[in-house]
Amino acid sequence: SNLVQVGMGNRQPNLWRQELFTQVLTASDAEYDLPVRMIAIRDVYLTVSNGGVSTDRVIWPLSTSEYDAQPNKTQEAVPTAYFVNKLMTPTITLWPVPDDSATYTLNVRLLSQIQDASMANGTTLDMPYRALDVYVSGLAHRLSRIYAPDKEMQRKQDYMDAWQEFANTDTEDNVGMTVAPDLS
């Protein structure tokens, strides 16, 4: 059953598993550990506090190649971008490196792994009610490989259909997007 949960965890996003990780930054320190439970990052923003005023600003991701292409990785200023290294303990590296002109708090909205099920202890599944059909059909598919190979393809289709229905509803509600040209 935990393999079904791993499969669901890999099919991001699973919005019910999002959390906000915060880290107060230290001047001249570019790299920080992220929680090992992290699977993916939704967005990152920086809270800049200076003179009693706090302002949030989004910072942007860099690919490995983009980060490697930065000519001065020790340049200090207000961070505007980040690079994530998905190691066993994932890290986030900020660029430019935080300076000492303000107090910075890093805010990472991340998606974390689904907790393992422990059927012997009767642990409740770490997923919302609306995902139960996906779990059950995914488990039926996995078990059909062993106990009913002739029904595996139908169970797989059941699982894919349940996933699609769930994925269509596990979204942010009514978030519109406006695109307008700048005609000035």
Q: Give pairs for 57-60: CB < 8 Å, separation 24+.
A: 59/94
- Which ranges of the chain would DSSP assign to H, the alpha helix? 2-10, 64-68, 132-147, 152-169
At 144-175, the pLDDT tens digits run 999 999 999 999 999 999 888 888 877 776 56
Residue 111 to residue 41: CA distance in whole angstroms: 6
At 9-64, the pLDDT tens digits run 666 666 777 899 999 999 999 999 999 988 889 899 999 999 999 999 999 999 99
Provide the CA 9 distance to its chain's centre, in angstroms: 10
Q: What is the DSSP letter of 149?
A: G
Residue 9 to residue 17: CA distance in whole angstroms: 9
